[in-house]
A and B are shown apart, each in its own frame.
Chain A
Amino acid sequence: MAQTRYRSLKDLLGEEYVVPGTPLCSGCGALLTFRLFHKALGKKVVWVNAAGCITLMIVYPFSPLKSSWMYTAMGCAPAGAQGIRDALDILIEKGEVDPEEDLKVVVVTGDGAANDIGLQSASGAIHRRLDFYYLCYDNEAFGNTGFQFSPSTPYGSKTMTSLPTPLIPEGHKGRKKDLFEIWRAHNPPYLATVSPSHPMDMMRKIEKAERFKGPKLFISISPCPPGWGYDTMKTIRMARLAVETGVWPLKEAVHGEVRHTFIPRSLKPLEEYLKEQERFKHLFYPLRREDIIGRMQREVEEYWRKVYSTEVLEEKKD
């Protein structure tokens, strides 16, 4: 990281490419990540989108973006990116487009599209070594349709299709799909998780990814005030707690080699993160479900035990 453009938070100032006044919910974590992401990539970008919350950022005739946008369909944003990349490549090669007019092609989708309906299309694009970025904003449910569980929903979360009942006290019984590992199995040159609470980490990762040709993939925790049930002011706090309790590890994989970019000296109790959110309220009221909370805590600890045993503590807490 010797050559980074991002040394302090001041380096995050500068031109905004997403102007204020989008129709997304106030406090939307996905929008925070999107804004930073755009800053890191610069203006010469075409976003390729699949159905999700971010889709409604642009409703004709208004766009908050200073860059280009292509909405495809829920299942095929990476294929849409393929078409644009291939077209620019062949037209530049034939001398019909000035290389100055070239664009970075960036897929942006929610976790529902990334983990399920669009996974085939993404798998194909990564496998073909398409030169593109993929940003998955993970709010851990289908947010745009009113918060139903997605393959990315964690165990124990309440969603509109996994309501906690006396029969199903934990709410969502499934486990979160490990998209990081699914993508890593395709051996992309660069892959990382990010969080809007750790902007320096995010910016440096995007900067690093720029060095690679091929798929550059990012998954961002994206706290969602209406879905998760917390005050809109607390989005950064939620993201930070996710990182500090260890439930959202910050890591990267360069050519498949995994490294954690933030290793907490000690994990905060997961409970601190859970109890601030309406979606986990049933784990505390009317009865404290020690069994369920304990299971969730143990799963996080299990993850980190492996990390501590394989990786040396490299970075200080920021």
Chain B
Amino acid sequence: MMRSKLIAELRPRREVVSTITKSKMLTGNVTAAWAARLAEVDYIPAFPITPQTEIIEKLSEWIALGEFKAKLTIVDSEHSMLAAAGTASLTGARVFTATSSQGLLYGFEMLYNIAGWRAPIVLVNVSRAVAAPISLEPDHNDFLSTRDSGFILLQAETCQEVLDLILLAYRVSEDNRVLLPSLVNMDGFHTSFTREPVKIPEIEEVRRFLPKYTQQLPFRASKPSAKGVAVLRPPLYSFYKYQMHLSSINAINVFKEACEKFEECFARRYDVIEKYMLDDSKYAIVMMGSYASIGKKAVRILREEGVSVGLLKLRMIRPLPSKDIRKALEGKKAVAVIDQNISPGLGGILYSDISSILYNSDNKPKVILPVIGGVGGKTITLDEIRYVVELLEKYANGGEPEPILLLREDELREVESLLRIGVGE
């Protein structure tokens, strides 16, 4: 009830075409729907959850109007949704689906299965903090919980990137050197419900970029096959998992290749990471998703003030493009990883990833500072990033920083006043 009501209030009613850019003003959600439509997906199993629901509403509307030929089935849960997505993909259909937060976790078992089946679906996750406590605001705990599943994980910052990453994801996932599903993440509300100008390519252009999906051994009457079967010999299980790992590593170069082709077709350039004022900076902050836009702005302002800082935006999380990240961060005096997630008892998830990449480098930063911010949709302000950079300067010559848990004074006051009401004072 709450899920659908909220979505009804928040859904923008009409698509506005901007006359200046010749782009459409679209929310991240509607952009994701456009990407599925342009990829000419055959099948969309779905289940509503805020803030993802607008994606499937849009797709079902187009199908009902006859504007888009595909089969959309609303199933009974995300677990069923992902099961249907996987088996349909193995039957030869190009599959798209989307979920958020609790839904992703509810279907979690099937993520590992889909990856193990080598079913190259594309799943969009619209990030939302995981209960308890229940929340509607974004963070990356839902998305990053899937990091060991075998999915290729891509994070979008803007609505345009949502479209482009979904198209890229199909090309990479369906490549025979990879054959793994992709999960494209966008931040709930910040991207899902924010309208930005988005360039929507023509379908012919997309066809030039994205070849048809062919499943090598689909379920057909003339060619029986058994899939998803038990493997009881441990070395065989290891072998399959190693294969998945190596295929995932392949996805780094396949993605880079796809980016070249993408630029040729659509004149927009992507890579596995994005560097912002980074090459010549002494300090670096690492961020991803919509909050990276705030990070970039902070970097610009700090640069004007003479602080030598740059930003590394992570785009591909799995496979982790270690070489690219190492190259980007080597030689920096200090690096802050701003994790928009929390692993209680550890700190930030990406912090561990980044640290492990840099550990063996001869030219590693003196300090890598773990920072947690943006959990449960808490905003990160310019002041907070300024504070983080000050800490970088402080620790530049070494030290053992504890994880920094960002919470501003005004926010703390708000929390305290809510707590007082909560206990009935």
A residues whose Cβ falls under 8 Å from a Cβ of B: 43-44, 46, 48, 55-56, 58-60, 63, 65-73, 75-76, 78-84, 86-91, 94, 96-97, 100-103, 120-121, 123-124, 128
Of the residues A58, A69, A79, contact of B81 by C-beta under 8 Å: A79
CA distance A83 to B121 in the complex (A): 12
For B69, what are the chain A residues with a Cβ–Cβ distance below 8 Å? Answer: 94
- B90 close to chain A: CB less than 8 A: yes
CA distance A123 to B80 in the complex (A): 11
Q: What are 21 A-B residue pairs whose CB atoms fall within 8 Å in the complex?
A: A55-B230, A56-B230, A58-B226, A59-B230, A68-B219, A68-B224, A68-B226, A71-B227, A73-B83, A73-B113, A79-B75, A83-B84, A84-B88, A86-B88, A87-B88, A88-B219, A96-B92, A100-B222, A101-B220, A121-B79, A128-B73
- B412 close to chain A: CB less than 8 A: no
- B45 close to chain A: CB less than 8 A: yes
The answer to whether A75 and B221 touch (CB under 8 A), given A91-B42, A96-B92, is no
CB distance from B37 to the nearest CB of A (A): 15
Supplied contacts A65-B224, A73-B83, A100-B221, 6 more A-B pairs, CB within 8 Å: A56-B230, A63-B229, A70-B227, A72-B228, A80-B84, A82-B75
Cβ–Cβ contact A124 & B75, under 8 A? yes
- B109 close to chain A: CB less than 8 A: yes
CB distance from B91 to the nearest CB of A (A): 4
- B132 close to chain A: CB less than 8 A: no
- B85 close to chain A: CB less than 8 A: yes
Contacting A at CB under 8 A, from B75-115, are: 75-77, 79-81, 83-93, 95, 109-110, 113
CA distance A286 to B410 in the complex (A): 75
Cβ–Cβ contact A79 & B224, under 8 A? no
Contacting A at CB under 8 A, from B219-253, are: 219-222, 224-232, 236
The answer to whether A70 and B88 touch (CB under 8 A), given A76-B79, A101-B220, is no
CA distance A141 to B91 in the complex (A): 33
Cβ–Cβ contact B229 & A69, under 8 A? yes
Cβ–Cβ contact A72 & B83, under 8 A? yes
For A59, what are the chain B residues with a Cβ–Cβ distance below 8 Å? Answer: 229-232
Chain A residue at minimal CB-CB distance from B91: A87
CA distance A124 to B81 in the complex (A): 11
Chain B residue at minimal CB-CB distance from A122: B76
- B170 close to chain A: CB less than 8 A: no
- B22 close to chain A: CB less than 8 A: no
The answer to whether A79 and B84 touch (CB under 8 A), given A86-B45, A86-B73, A101-B220, is yes
- B394 close to chain A: CB less than 8 A: no
Cβ–Cβ contact A72 & B87, under 8 A? yes
For A44, what are the chain B residues with a Cβ–Cβ distance below 8 Å? Answer: 221
CA distance A121 to B84 in the complex (A): 11
Cβ–Cβ contact B87 & A70, under 8 A? yes
Chain A residue at minimal CB-CB distance from B87: A83
Closest 9 CB pairs of A and B: A124-B76, A79-B80, A83-B84, A83-B87, A87-B91, A83-B88, A87-B88, A87-B93, A76-B83
CB distance from A128 to the nearest CB of B (A): 7
For A73, what are the chain B residues with a Cβ–Cβ distance below 8 Å? Answer: 83, 109-110, 113
- B208 close to chain A: CB less than 8 A: no
Of the residues B92, B230, B236, contact of A71 by C-beta under 8 Å: B230
For B56, what are the chain A residues with a Cβ–Cβ distance below 8 Å? Answer: none
CB distance from B135 to the nearest CB of A (A): 25
Chain A residue at minimal CB-CB distance from B70: A90
For A88, what are the chain B residues with a Cβ–Cβ distance below 8 Å? Answer: 91, 219
Of the residues B42, B43, B86, B93, contact of A80 by C-beta under 8 Å: B86
CB distance from B97 to the nearest CB of A (A): 10
B residues whose Cβ falls under 8 Å from a Cβ of A: 42-43, 45, 69-71, 73, 75-77, 79-81, 83-93, 95, 109-110, 113, 219-222, 224-232, 236
Of the residues B80, B110, B227, contact of A82 by C-beta under 8 Å: B80
CA distance A275 to B17 in the complex (A): 78
CB distance from A317 to the nearest CB of B (A): 39
For A87, what are the chain B residues with a Cβ–Cβ distance below 8 Å? Answer: 42-43, 87-89, 91-93, 95
For B73, what are the chain A residues with a Cβ–Cβ distance below 8 Å? Answer: 82, 86, 128
Chain A residue at minimal CB-CB distance from B240: A60
For B109, what are the chain A residues with a Cβ–Cβ distance below 8 Å? Answer: 73, 75
CB distance from B218 to the nearest CB of A (A): 8
For B77, what are the chain A residues with a Cβ–Cβ distance below 8 Å? Answer: 120-121, 124
For A89, what are the chain B residues with a Cβ–Cβ distance below 8 Å? Answer: 71
CA distance A96 to B69 in the complex (A): 13
For A128, what are the chain B residues with a Cβ–Cβ distance below 8 Å? Answer: 73, 75
CA distance A78 to B81 in the complex (A): 11
Cβ–Cβ contact B80 & A124, under 8 A? yes
CA distance A308 to B84 in the complex (A): 43
The answer to whether A71 and B229 touch (CB under 8 A), given A83-B86, A90-B93, is yes
For A101, what are the chain B residues with a Cβ–Cβ distance below 8 Å? Answer: 220-222
Of the residues A71, A81, A103, contact of B228 by C-beta under 8 Å: A71
Of the residues B75, B92, B226, contact of A91 by C-beta under 8 Å: B92
For B79, what are the chain A residues with a Cβ–Cβ distance below 8 Å? Answer: 75-76, 79, 121
Cβ–Cβ contact A97 & B92, under 8 A? yes
Of the residues A67, A71, A72, A81, contact of B224 by C-beta under 8 Å: A67
CA distance A65 to B73 in the complex (A): 30
CB distance from A265 to the nearest CB of B (A): 44
Chain A residue at minimal CB-CB distance from B109: A73
CA distance A78 to B73 in the complex (A): 13
Most buried by B among A80, A81, A97, A101: A80
For A58, what are the chain B residues with a Cβ–Cβ distance below 8 Å? Answer: 226, 229-230
Cβ–Cβ contact B83 & A86, under 8 A? no
The answer to whether A79 and B92 touch (CB under 8 A), given A58-B229, A84-B87, is no
CB distance from B25 to the nearest CB of A (A): 31
For B84, what are the chain A residues with a Cβ–Cβ distance below 8 Å? Answer: 79-80, 82-83, 86
CB distance from B100 to the nearest CB of A (A): 19
Most buried by B among A43, A60, A83: A83
Chain B residue at minimal CB-CB distance from A121: B80
The answer to whether A97 and B220 touch (CB under 8 A), given A80-B86, A88-B91, is yes
Chain B residue at minimal CB-CB distance from A63: B226
Cβ–Cβ contact B43 & A103, under 8 A? no
For B81, what are the chain A residues with a Cβ–Cβ distance below 8 Å? Answer: 79
CA distance A129 to B357 in the complex (A): 51
CB distance from B226 to the nearest CB of A (A): 4
CA distance A102 to B75 in the complex (A): 23
For A84, what are the chain B residues with a Cβ–Cβ distance below 8 Å? Answer: 87-88, 90-91, 219
